[in-house]
């Protein structure tokens, strides 16, 4: 709303200064023009602090732009009003957390009708180009026709016009009036374009330079607000998709590395470590096939389902079976398709490493096969006993797994001193891999052993039955879980895990803490290639207390 605010003192009752005032002799003094020297300090202060004091500036920022454009006698006054306009724009856009709302505010409350009769705003979407424009017209009945006239694609601006307003052809007489002037400006911040603005004003052959400068200043503020809103959205997404911290597991040292590609806050990889009750702790390390909102749908579903099933008492294989059926339901695909820009949802497949950890509290005499061994669990000396699909992985006899370098793993670790009736120490680990890189076990003597067996991705087939493997993580041993962003890190045509590169890096970490192991492997992955990683990098490290 615009109104006129008197800048001088209110006139007293009686004759006005413009028509004359009483003289000491009682006559009427001749009228004269007020000069600059007649204003006292109070009047000048009032002018400086009143946004509407400059009526010509108010006219420029109000719908009557034509009159102001013709009056070019005081451009410095015009710029003073422009500063107020840009300050108002900054305040309006600063607190917005939604990029689309930023576009609507810029169109409906700042550009129209303040600078233009109509406008269109295109916002670039990650990996999908510009979205359909937001259009606004001073006459609501013209908005549909305006949308047709401006089209779906933004103006193609010259490379030299990054962040600068350039004249643009009038899009059409019917939608934008009987003709006028139009300006286009890219939304550029940090050297990156996030969208385009287009404005038009009828009845003009060109928009004045002062308005073009205001338009450019507003475009910069809109670009900053869009980037800030999207950054906020990513941070909220990260808080929703990733745990706030790692659960402390008794008798274990734990560390995590999580580096989304491209400097974002949350990527397609996710992890979780949480208590499941009855002395059990569960962990998950997953990678969604895809990115963007579709991947977020799958990740946002997988984590709470995992926690719900684990805390409901389901074992590792049961959790994977039920999660696989959930990911295959039509509702998930429909939700992903509704968010996707085009086509059916393609990111409902999930690679997942999921496990359960049960620390041994102290002395536990062994009087024969316990329930876990009878079900294919762990032997009393901490040696792996494979079953199901993982049996093909451990081809050696029970108690003689093979390391990555073919070194035999003998029975009974002398370092732990566990006898048939001795105290159990360490952590019992049950895990399964669904299309995920296999975890690596680092023994206290430096040997490295791959655990579990490869199985099908989650969400591909409904009738898949997943198998798990149970073994003891002995004191001083370390379990490394990593996503394909680690194993498939590229340097020219080579990958980091070619020729067991990850196992070789892990073998040098004997005696290191979990955090030191994570940092050592992370450094090796980054040093493998000259270019920054182009995929998310995530690792979980668990070390049993010595």
CB 483 within 8 A of CB 287: yes
Tokens, residue 306 = 């995992």
Cβ-in-10-Å burial (0-12, 13-18, 19+) of 108 comes to middle
By percentage, how much of the chain surpasses pLDDT 90? 31
Distance linking the first and last C-alpha atoms of the chain: 73
Site of tokens 């041994």:
360
**In whole numbers, what is the pLDDT of the chain averaged over residues?**
74
In this predicted model, which residue has the larger pLDDT, 101 or 54? Answer: 101
Q: What are phi and psi of 491, to 5 degrees?
A: -140, 100
Using alpha carbons, select from 167, 242, 220, 174 the residue that is nearest to residue 198: 167
In this predicted model, which residue has the larger pLDDT, 8 or 219? Answer: 219
pLDDT in the model for residue 318: 95
Domains of the chain by range and CATH?
48-236 (3.30.450.40), 250-360+423-544 (3.60.40.10)
Cis amide prior to 113 (ω within 30 degrees): yes
Q: What are phi and psi of 53, to 5 degrees?
A: -65, -40
Tokens, residue 351 = 């690679």
- Which range has the worst mean pLDDT, 131-145, 400-414, 462-476? 400-414
Q: CA–CA separation, 378 vs 372, rounded Å?
A: 6
pLDDT in the model for residue 175: 47
Q: CA–CA separation, 403 vs 441, rounded Å?
A: 9
Secondary structure (H, E, C), 33-93: CCCHHHCCHHHHHHHHHCHHHCHHHHHHHCCCHHHHHHCCCCHHHHHHHHHHHHHHHHHHH
Using DSSP's 3-state secondary structure scheme, residue 297 falls into helix
In this predicted model, which residue has the larger pLDDT, 461 or 445? Answer: 445
Q: Indicate whether 397 pLDDT > 90.
A: no
Tokens, residue 316 = 């590792």
pLDDT digits (tens, 9 = 90+) for 279-326: 999 999 998 876 555 666 677 788 889 999 999 999 999 999 999 988
Question: Would you tell me the crossing angle of helices 209-241 and 292-311 to the nearest 10 degrees?
Answer: 20
Q: CA–CA separation, 15 vs 13, rounded Å?
A: 7
The DSSP call for residue 273 is E
pLDDT digits (tens, 9 = 90+) for 331-355: 455 455 545 444 444 456 889 999 9
Question: Would you tell me the crossing angle of helices 292-311 and 330-339 to the nearest 10 degrees?
Answer: 150
The rounded radius of gyration (Å) of the Cα atoms in the chain is: 35
Q: Indicate whether 395 pLDDT > 60.
A: no
Mean pLDDT of 511-538: 90
By percentage, how much of the chain surpasses pLDDT 70? 64
CB 173 within 8 A of CB 179: yes
Q: CA–CA separation, 184 vs 119, rounded Å?
A: 10
pLDDT in the model for residue 425: 82
Give the highest mean pLDDT range of 187-191, 264-268, 487-491, 507-511.
507-511
Angle at 49 between CA 43 and CA 55, to 5 degrees: 80
pLDDT bucket at 244, cuts 50 / 70 / 90: low
In this predicted model, which residue has the larger pLDDT, 338 or 138? Answer: 138
Q: What sections of 151-208 are H helices per DSSP?
A: 173-176
pLDDT digits (tens, 9 = 90+) for 146-194: 888 888 888 888 888 888 999 998 886 554 456 789 999 999 988 888 9
pLDDT digits (tens, 9 = 90+) for 197-210: 999 988 888 888 88
Site of tokens 């500063």:
83
């Amino acid at each position: 709303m615009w109104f006129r605010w008197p800048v001088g003192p209110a006139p007293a009752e009686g004759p006005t200064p413009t028509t004359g005032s009483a003289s000491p002799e009682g006559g009427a003094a001749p009228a004269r023009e007020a000069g600059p020297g007649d204003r006292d300090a109070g009047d000048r202060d009032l002018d400086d602090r009143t946004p509407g004091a400059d009526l010509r500036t108010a006219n420029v920022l109000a719908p009557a732009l034509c009159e102001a454009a013709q009056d070019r006698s005081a451009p410095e006054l015009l710029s003073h009003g422009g500063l107020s306009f840009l300050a108002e724009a900054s305040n309006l856009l600063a607190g917005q957390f939604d990029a689309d709302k930023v576009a609507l505010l810029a169109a409906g409350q700042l550009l129209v009708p303040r600078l233009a009769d109509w406008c269109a705003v295109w916002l670039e979407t990650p990996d999908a180009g510009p979205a359909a424009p937001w259009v606004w017209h001073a006459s609501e009945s013209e908005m549909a026709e305006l949308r047709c006239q401006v089209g779906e694609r933004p103006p193609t601006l010259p490379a030299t016009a990054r962040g600068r307003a350039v004249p643009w052809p009038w899009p059409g007489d019917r939608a934008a009036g009987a003709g006028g002037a139009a300006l286009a400006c890219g939304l550029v911040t940090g050297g990156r374009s996030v969208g385009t603005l287009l404005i038009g004003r009828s009845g003009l052959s060109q928009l004045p330079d002062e308005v073009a400068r205001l338009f450019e200043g507003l475009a910069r503020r809109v670009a900053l607000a869009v980037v800030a809103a999207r950054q906020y959205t990513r941070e909220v997404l990260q808080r929703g998709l990733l745990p706030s911290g790692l659960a402390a597991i008794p008798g274990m040292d734990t560390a995590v590395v999580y580096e989304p590609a491209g400097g974002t806050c949350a990527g397609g990889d996710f992890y979780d470590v949480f208590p499941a009750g009855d002395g059990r702790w569960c962990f998950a390390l997953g990678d969604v096939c895809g990115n963007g909102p579709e991947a977020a749908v799958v990740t946002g579903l997988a984590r709470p389902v995992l926690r719900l099933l684990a805390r409901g008492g389901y074992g590792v294989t049961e959790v994977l079976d039920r999660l696989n059926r959930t990911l295959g339901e039509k509702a998930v695909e429909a939700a992903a398709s509704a968010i996707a820009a085009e086509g059916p949802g393609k990111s409902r497949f999930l690679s997942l490493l999921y496990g359960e950890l049960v620390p041994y509290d102290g002395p536990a005499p062994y009087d024969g096969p316990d329930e876990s061994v009878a079900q294919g669990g762990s032997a009393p000396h901490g040696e792996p006993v494979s079953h199901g699909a993982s049996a093909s992985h451990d081809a050696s006899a029970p108690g003689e797994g093979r390391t990555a370098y073919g070194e035999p793993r003998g029975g009974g670790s002398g370092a732990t001193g566990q006898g048939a009736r001795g105290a159990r120490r360490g952590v019992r680990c049950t895990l399964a891999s669904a299309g995920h890189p296999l975890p690596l076990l680092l023994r206290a003597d430096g040997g490295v052993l791959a655990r579990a067996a490869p199985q099908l991705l989650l969400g591909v087939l409904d009738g898949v039955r997943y198998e798990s493997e149970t073994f003891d993580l002995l004191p001083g041993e370390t379990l490394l879980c990593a996503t394909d962003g680690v194993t498939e890190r590229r340097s020219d045509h080579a990958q980091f895990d070619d020729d067991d590169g990850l196992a070789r890096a892990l073998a040098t970490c004997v005696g290191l803490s979990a955090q030191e192991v994570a940092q050592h492997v992370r450094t090796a992955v980054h040093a493998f290639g000259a270019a920054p990683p182009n995929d998310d990098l995530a690792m979980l490290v668990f070390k049993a207390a010595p």
